[in-house]
Amino acid sequence: MTKRRLTARIAVGVVAVLVLIQFIPYGHSHANPRVTRAVKWDSPRTQQLFQGACQDCHSNLSHWRWYDKFAPGSWLVQNDIQGGRDNLNFSEWDKPQPDVGELIAAIESGSMPPIQYKVAHAAARLSKAERARLEAGIRATYSADPPGGR
């Protein structure tokens, strides 16, 4: 078998696999659950920073994009959103949420928002000043409107 023929077979195989994985049901539901109780932000600026850097994964108001419709990308996005909502959900403020110190530590360390999100979303690439403002706003929000179940 020639190199050209082998390359063609591999390409056909890769395309076939990409087509077949579209039929795996995980990652296709782009429904947002209802908001049970929205957080009351301390300021419009905190809300704006949250919307750009955190909302897609940490609320029930995810904005689904074109690349979220095709596997394997849809699998990664679904996993990130489900994990984010399970850990912290600002749309379910009537339920217990993590301690504010945990949130601030994740923002300060740079682990939130995660790198894969920052690559695709310019608004998530916070400057040092924006990061500090978000941290202060989240502290103020927790103080003025603590999550339920506490």
Give the list of residues 6+ apart from residue 88 with CB closer than 8 angstroms, or none: 58, 97, 98, 103
Classify each residue of 23-59 as buried b or exposed e, where b means 16 or more C-beta atoms within 10 Å of its C-beta: eeeebeeeeeeebeeebebbeeebbbbbebbbbbbbb
pLDDT at residue 19, as a whole number: 86
Measured CA to CA in angstroms, residue 26 lies from 22, 37, 40, 79, 140 at distances of 9, 27, 33, 9, 38
User: Token pair of 102, please?
Assistant: 């945990």
Closest by CA to 89, choosing from 49, 38, 29, 143, is: 38
pLDDT of residue 126: 95
pLDDT for res 105? 96
C-alpha span between 31 and 93 (Å, rounded): 19
> In the structure encoding, which two tokens stand for residue 142, read together?
């927790």
User: Are 121 and 23 within 8 A, CB to CB?
Assistant: no
Walking along the chain (150 residues) 10 residues at a time, the average pLDDT comes out as: 92 91 80 95 98 97 88 90 96 96 94 92 95 97 87
Per-domain boundaries in the chain:
28-144
Residue 105 neighbours by CB under 8 Å, 6+ apart: none
